[in-house]
Amino acid sequence: MAINTPIPTVNLASAAFKANPFPFYAQLRADAPVYRTTLPNKHPVWLITRYADVAAALKDERFAKDRHNALSAEQIRKTPWTPALFKALEKNMLDLDAPDHTRLRGLVHKVFTPRLVEHMRERVQQLADELLDKAAKQKHFDLIEGYALPIPMTIISEILGVPVQDRANFHRWTKGIISVSGPIQMLWSIPSFIGLLSYIRKLCQMRRADPQDDLISALVQASENGDRLNDEELQSMVAILLIAGHETTVNLIGNGTLALLENPDQFDLLRENPALIKTATEELLRYSPPVEAATERYAREDITINGVTIPRGEQMMAVLASANRDASQFEKPDVLDVTRENNKHLSFGQGIHYCVGAPLARLEGHIALNTLLARMPHLRLSVPAEKLKWRAGLSLRGLEALPVTV
């Protein structure tokens, strides 16, 4: 395939790249929609960037989530070293294929129900109001630390049954874990893994011995045809629900608020028409998605996409943030339009790995954004947008902080 201009070498996990990855992805869509590059850990990866290809790849069973279902024995021997500690989290829905994935997801669906999500509506609203009451007493505050983080962290902790006094530790641990993009960060994150896993192990043991009215207890008791989660599966499930259950929604609220502040006409339109919140939230998910790229998949066989063959065993990442800006699917894709209809963004994935927490994330996003705009109509950035710090990491895209003036 002819390349019109040289494709720059970038560090996909760096904070500098996260600040504005969209021009790079636009070039890939135009010139190299199936592109081989190298991750910070020196491991090769194929980036898929066009909407149709991303949507198809996410549902393509020829791509395995569990690398052991795709790699040859020789390829597995050459896989970068992973501490045994990290492998303890691999028995979760994100990293498994059918039939194991089907079984685990079925058990989660039994307890993570629409009724449970809807039951949290009043609590989310109460939290949003309490946090903004506190913020309103200050002229300046960090919207991430003071609003975007506490809402989903509190909600998922209450759903799971994590005691109040332990919640601050959870964010510190998960922040350390999701920043891993290479061997150095992996070593730095070991204390976070130890803290998270040892705590979750103890909490799960407590709920097995003495069930409470919470999601962990429900997962302990849930069964599918008499089949229940074993200890390793339960601990991995709780870890992934906790991490994914708050880190992504922090980014939805943070990235969404920044996008509205940078597009004041859309900020005002939504503030004056709060009934637009559903289309607005979908548009913010499309325009500045919390998850930049779906977690890794591996080719079970040689797979050809757009005339380019991904060899068996090699890693693929479907770039959601790129697919969401594809002009073949979205009119004026680089324009934020809170009234956009028929918005088939891919921010929650596709296929069997579609985000199980999507209804909760949407609920939290609707309430958090509408309440913020209603309560703080003159909200503005306290620093120039180019001075904002983005979090390093491979899959997620979110801000370290969002300093605002009330």
The answer to whether residue 6 is domain-embedded is no
Q: Residue 3: which pLDDT band, with cuts at 50, 70 and 90? A: very low
Question: What gap in Å lies between CA 261 and CA 277, rounded to an integer?
Answer: 16
Q: Judge whether residue 361 has pLDDT over 60.
A: yes
* Residue whose entry in the numeric block shows the structure tokens 């199936």: 34
Q: What b/e string do you get for 319-352 counting C-beta neighbours within 10 Å, with b at 16 or more?
A: bbbbbbbbeebbeebeebbbebeebebbbbbbeb
Q: Residue 193: which pLDDT band, with cuts at 50, 70 and 90? A: confident
Question: What gap in Å lies between CA 59 and CA 187, rounded to an integer?
Answer: 33
Q: Judge whether residue 248 has pLDDT over 80.
A: yes
Question: Residue 187 has what pLDDT?
Answer: 55
Average pLDDT, the chain: 90
The answer to whether residue 128 is domain-embedded is yes
The answer to whether residue 5 is domain-embedded is no
Percent of the chain with pLDDT over 70: 92
Question: Residue 1 has what pLDDT?
Answer: 41
Report the pLDDT averaged over residues 47-53: 98
Number of domains observed in the structure of the chain: 1
Where residue 244 sits, what CATH number does that domain have?
1.10.630.10
Going by C-alpha positions, the residue among 122, 164, 124, 176 that lies closest to residue 147 is 124
Write out the two tokens for 259: 């996008």
* DSSP helix/strand/coil, 380: strand
Q: Residue 26: which pLDDT band, with cuts at 50, 70 and 90? A: very high
274-309 pLDDT per residue, tens: 999 999 999 999 999 999 999 999 999 999 999 999
CB 83 within 8 A of CB 190: yes
Segment among 28-42, 158-172, 342-356, 375-389 with least mean pLDDT: 158-172
The answer to whether residue 2 is domain-embedded is no
The answer to whether residue 1 is domain-embedded is no
Report the pLDDT averaged over residues 249-256: 97
Report the pLDDT averaged over residues 372-396: 95
* Full residue range of the structural domain in which residue 214 is found: 15-405
Q: Residue 85: which pLDDT band, with cuts at 50, 70 and 90? A: low
Q: Residue 168: which pLDDT band, with cuts at 50, 70 and 90? A: confident
Neighbours of 87 (CB within 10 A): 10
Q: Residue 261: which pLDDT band, with cuts at 50, 70 and 90? A: very high
Segment among 2-11, 191-200, 318-327 with least mean pLDDT: 2-11
Percent of the chain with pLDDT over 90: 66
The answer to whether residue 10 is domain-embedded is no
The whole-model pTM stands at 0.92
Going by C-alpha positions, the residue among 351, 361, 364, 320 that lies closest to residue 50 is 320
The answer to whether residue 8 is domain-embedded is no
CB 253 within 8 A of CB 362: no
Measured at the CA of 291, the angle between CA 93 and CA 92, to 5 degrees, comes to: 10
The answer to whether residue 45 is domain-embedded is yes
Question: Residue 241 has what pLDDT?
Answer: 87
Q: Judge whether residue 119 has pLDDT over 60.
A: yes
Question: Residue 362 has what pLDDT?
Answer: 97
Question: Residue 2 has what pLDDT?
Answer: 43
CB 189 within 8 A of CB 177: yes
Report the pLDDT averaged over residues 20-46: 95
Report the pLDDT averaged over residues 157-164: 90
| Amino acid making up residue 380 | R
Q: Is 110 exposed, middle or buried (0-12, 13-18, 19+ CB in 10 A)?
A: middle
Question: Residue 401 has what pLDDT?
Answer: 96
